[in-house]
Structure 1
Amino acid sequence: MPQDQMRLCLNAITKVLDQVRRDHGQESAEAMADFHVRSWQAAKDEQLALGVPYYHGGAPGLRVGERVLPSSVTGTEHVMSRYVRGTPDFDRLQVTCRDHVYFSSARDLAVEYAAVYPDGGFYRIAPEGDFEPDPDCGIPGLAWRCSAATVVEVVHAEVRLQRSLTLKQIDDLCGLDSPMGARVVAILRKEGRLGHRRPPART
């Protein structure tokens, strides 16, 4: 998402936080749950008002006007749940749900998913009907899911950034310390597709 659009979304979320504090008077569990719902709605309203484009990285070969369908319909096994299967958080993460199409307001995030597919297509899409927050995403407005979408533009028919992902790229994508990050590292190492450039030390 461009910096000016990100700034406007953050401003909207800050206003929501101020309102939640006024309504609840304290940062209780109820207040934080209220903030979660309102902040995602504020980000959604702001993105729709600004006409923020949405992107999806997934199966290659789709053309403009064709539908992006969930894996429960297409039957593909190239899904993010393969990277978290067997981890302690597998049952908690909603990424295991296969009846949704996931998309993002951030080009870089979607293109990473296209690369991880691997060699997937990178598309600008329009969600069909209403859409909701990706429950595994903690940043309001960054990632969403819907029942289906339509390809508006084929940005890249096939994303071949490289035949391997570095530890830095995995860290940017899902965090090396997360269960998903550990699973991605294990799979790519087994497939011989793990690069060796480490992320910078966190301070």
Structure 2
Amino acid sequence: MDTTELRLLDSQVRAGRVSLFHGGAPDLRPGDWVLPPSLSGMPSMRERSEAAGFTRVMTSEDLVYVTTERALAAAFAADWTTRMPGTGRGWLYRVDLEDHELVPDDDLPRGPFISFQLPRVRVSAVLDRGVDPNDRRHVRELRRFVALIA
């Protein structure tokens, strides 16, 4: 994704023509900030990625990750129970950029840039309060994503 394409996507997100999604910790409400693990104390995907055998993991504890793909965000929400057992199911959110510009995810240098990294985002809507971790669609979606970065 070149700079022109990124600027166009950023403007489409801000105009409400393209949505951004985040899947993760439960119990956030519209207006709440999704903060990075370094500020929220929530676990990041870094350890899980490294345990899965990825040698080039650039996931930052200081950034929040979002995607334009609702199914991918739902898959990460489903994975929440694995990262944080006993805390309930992960939730799926639609989020807003606020005052930040889209930055492609460092873990996906080849693209397609379906994932973006930001200092924080604001919850605009709760789309699913408790994504089912046993739903096979989520497992397939995570495998598809892993194949992109492997």
TM-score range with shorter-chain normalisation? 0.7 to 0.9
> What residue is the counterpart of 2:123 in the other structure?
151
Corresponding residue SS for 2:61: coil
Q: Is the 8 A contact 1:60 1:158 kept in 2?
A: yes
CA gap 1:177/1:52 in 2 versus in 1, 3 angstroms: closer
Query: For residues 177 and 127 of structure 1, do their structure 2 counterparts lie closer, same or farther at Cα, with a shift above 3 Å needed?
Result: closer
Kindly state the Cα deviation for residue 84 of structure 1 after the two structures are TM-superposed. 2.1
2:74 paired with 1:107: no
Match of 2:29 in 1: 63
| Cα distance in 1 between the residues matched to 2:11 and 2:123 | 22
Equivalent in 104, 112, 134 of residue 162 of structure 1:
134
CA RMSD of the aligned region, Å?
2.7
Letter of the 1:135 counterpart? D
Identity of aligned residues (%): 26
User: Where do 5+ consecutive residues of structure 1 fail to align?
Assistant: 1-12, 14-35, 179-203
The 1:42–1:128 alpha-carbon spacing in structure 2 relative to 1, beyond 3 Å, is closer
Q: Distance in 1 between matches of 2:22 and 2:96?
A: 10
Structure whose residues are more often helix by fraction: 1
Under a length normalisation based on structure 2, what TM-score does the superposition of the two structures give?
0.77
**Which one scores higher on RCO, CA 8 angstroms, separation ≥ 6?**
2
Cα pair 1:55 1:123 within 8 Å, conserved: yes
Per the alignment, residue 120 of structure 1 pairs with: 90
Match of 2:39 among 60, 70, 73: 73
More strand by share: 2
Q: Deviations over 1:47-98 (max 9, x none)?
A: 4456211110010111111111100011112x21122225361xx3221x11
Count of aligned pairs: 140
Aligned mates of 1:163, 1:140 — CA distance in 2: 25
The Cα of 1:37 is off from its aligned counterpart by 4.3
* 1:127 and 1:150 in contact (8 A); partners too: yes
Partner letter of residue 79 of structure 2? V
1:122-176 alpha-carbon deviations (Å, 9 max, x no partner) = 0001123223111112335521111111111000111114177886444223129
Q: Are 1:52 and 1:105, in contact at CA under 8 Å, matched by a contact in 2? A: yes
- Give the letter for the 2:63 counterpart: H
Larger Rg: 1
| Structure 2 partner of 1:134 | 105
- Paired AA for residue 40 in structure 1: L
One-letter amino acid of the counterpart of residue 130, structure 1: H
